[in-house]
Amino acid sequence: MKEIHVKDITETVEKLCIEACTTLGNDWWQTMDKAVSQEESTLGKDMLGIIRENAKLAASTGEPICQDTGTAVIFLEMGQEVRIAGGNLYHAINEGVHRGYTNGYLRKSVVSDPLIRKNTGDNTPAIIHVDIVSGSDLKITVAPKGAGSENSSGLKMLKPADGEDGVIQFVMEVVEAAGPNACPPVVVGVGLGGNLEKSAILAKRSLLRPLGKRHPQPHIAKLEEEILRRINSTGIGPQGLGGRITALDVHIETYPTHIASLPVAVNIQCHASRHAEAVL
Partner 1 sequence: MNRIKTPLDFETIRKLKAGDQVSLSGVLFTGRDAAHKRLVDTYLAGQELPVDLRGQVIYYVGPCPAKPGKVIGSAGPTTSIRMDPYTPLLVRELGLRGMIGKGHRSQKVVDVIKEEGAIYFLTIGGAAALLAQRIKKAEVVAYPEFGPEAIYRLEVEDFPLIVGVDSDGRSAYDEGQSKYRLIHSVVGSGETLENRR
Residues 77-96 that bind partner 1 (CB under 8 A): none
Q: Report, in Å, the least distance between residue 138 CB and partner 1.
A: 29
Residue 212 touching partner 1 (CB under 8 A): no
CB nearer to partner 1: give 79 or 104.
104
The answer to whether 148 touches 181, Cβ cutoff 8 Å, is: yes
Instruction: Give the one residue of 30, 80, 151, 195 binding partner 1; rule: CB under 8 A.
Output: 151
- Judge residue 252's burial from the number of C-beta atoms within 10 Å of its C-beta, 0-12 exposed, 13-18 middle, 19 or more buried: buried
Beta bridge partners of 100: none
The answer to whether 206 touches 243, Cβ cutoff 8 Å, is: no
CB nearer to partner 1: give 191 or 237.
237
Residue 279 touching partner 1 (CB under 8 A): no
CB nearer to partner 1: give 87 or 180.
180
Residue 41 touching partner 1 (CB under 8 A): yes
Residue 177 touching partner 1 (CB under 8 A): yes
Residues 215-274 that bind partner 1 (CB under 8 A): 230, 233-237, 239-244, 270-272
Alpha helices in 39-68 (DSSP H): 42-61
Q: Report, in Å, the least distance between residue 168 CB and partner 1.
A: 9
Q: How far is CA 164 from CA 157, 167, 169, 267, in A?
A: 13, 5, 9, 18
The answer to whether 152 touches 268, Cβ cutoff 8 Å, is: yes
Residue 38 touching partner 1 (CB under 8 A): no
Rounded-to-integer distance, Cα 117 and Cα 247, Å:
33
Residues 153-172 that bind partner 1 (CB under 8 A): 162, 165-166, 169, 172
Residue 189, CB half-sphere, CA atoms under 13 Å: how many?
A: 24
Q: What pairing do the DSSP bridges indicate for beta strands 186-194 and 247-257? A: parallel
Residues 95-124 that bind partner 1 (CB under 8 A): 105-109, 117, 119, 121
Backbone angles phi, psi at 273, to 5 degrees: -80, 80
- List residues binding partner 1 (CB under 8 A): 40-41, 43, 47, 50-51, 53-54, 57-58, 61, 63-69, 105-109, 117, 119, 121, 147-148, 151, 162, 165-166, 169, 172-173, 176-177, 179-181, 183, 230, 233-237, 239-244, 270-272
